[in-house]
Amino acid sequence: MRTEEKFKNNLVNFLQQEEERRGRKFFSLKKILFLFFIGFFIIGFTFSYQAFSSGGKVFGKKHSFFSQVKKLVFSENKEEIQKQKQINILLLGMRGTDHQKDQGGGNYLSDTNILLSIRPEEKKAAMLSIPRDLFATIDGFGKNRINASYALNLEKYKDGDKAAEKTIEDFEKILGVDIQYYVKIDFVGFEKTIDILGGVDINIEKSFTDSEYPDLNYGYQTISFEKGLEHMDGDRALKFVRSRHGNGGEGSDFARAKRQQQILSATKDKALSFSTLLNPIKINRLIASVGDHVRTDMELNQAMELFNLCKDISSDQIINQVIDNSNNGLLYSTRTEQGAYVLIPNKGEDDFSEIQELARNIFEK
């Protein structure tokens, strides 16, 4: 009898111990899952906060960024871009205030001026580069190089969106087309974008050396590019698009404009690649990094619609045009009374009719 009671007691103790052990294991599993959930939530919240914070700086301010996200998710009218016959976007590239690649002034002079035209239904796109030295009337300031428009208006209105709005009006008078949106990016934003994307592959058409590229000491450094395929990081790509004194026919603003369009096309391809689209961490880094360096009056839903539209437009189908002073160009070079180098339309100082014809019919050329 004692043996049976002892056996029963041992069995009960064993079962109790096993139950406690299983309970501890179950508790540990619940604890692990809980901690994992908390970590995932914190990471997700951090990413969302960064995206919201940066996104609020990038996109238009007619509505709060939260309302823009709400519209993107819940609005039934999500085809504002798609319904338009043609969208014209002014792309402005400038030094910016915190660029550390070289010294010098002109932080808000637009180094790059490109009219990006898109026809959604036809899935066509065109880039038309307007030279920075084009001499034109800047409303409220008289005659000047067109690249001074944004800087002068920013100084007057102390507001980047208002300055961009007035700059668009100046370009509309030159080009003879309505410009619906603008995108402004500075050098730091340009570099960061390319670096986060993992660099871009560029087929350099001509070898050239530029011995007058700006450095950090108000002097110059020598940069060189060899003909052929090169993988460029942000710093290298910036040098490629900014170089203005290269030999071998690459020392003009017009050659630089072609290189700028080349980099934009390569960046578009990389941004829309599967390696980027399927990498939420990379996308978040991109949004968080460019928040202080990119600005547009497009709202989030419009930008996303345009983003999706661009996926269906291959880079080799994009029309590339540069307004220049070549033998068959629309401009000629001269000097102002003050000795400044400027570009004037062939038909006369204030006659932009040929440029307007090109801008209006760029898809038929």
Using CB atoms within 10 A of its CB, is residue 133 exposed (0-12), middle (13-18) or buried (19+)?
middle
Distance (Å, whole) CA 81 – CA 137: 31
The pLDDT assigned to 279 comes to 72
Could you report the per-residue pLDDT of 152-195, keeping only the tens digit for each? 999 999 999 999 999 999 999 999 999 999 999 999 899 999 99
Mean pLDDT by 10 residues, the chain (365 residues): 54 54 51 46 43 61 56 55 89 80 74 94 93 96 96 95 96 97 92 92 96 86 97 96 93 93 92 73 73 84 81 85 93 94 95 97 88
CA-CA distance, 136 to 331, in Å (whole number)?
A: 12
Domain count, the chain: 2
pLDDT of residue 272: 82
The model's pLDDT over 288-319, given as tens digits with 9 standing for 90+, comes to 777 778 898 888 778 878 888 888 888 778 99
- CA 77 vs. chain centroid, Å, equals 25
Q: Are residues 83 and 54 in the same domain?
A: no
- What is the structure's pLDDT at 345? 97
Distance CA 165, CA 182 (A): 8
Q: Tokens representing 309?
A: 């539209």
* Same-domain pairing of 40 and 133: no
Is 66 inside any structural domain?
A: no
Instruction: Report the phi/psi class of residue 140: left, alpha or beta, with left for phi > 0 and alpha for psi in -120 to 50.
Output: left
Instruction: Note whether 111 and 248 are same-domain residues.
Output: yes
Q: What's the pLDDT at 117? A: 95
pTM above 0.85, yes or no: no
Q: What is the pLDDT of residue 50?
A: 52
What CATH number is associated with residue 286? 3.40.630.190
Q: What domain range is 8 assigned to? A: 1-58
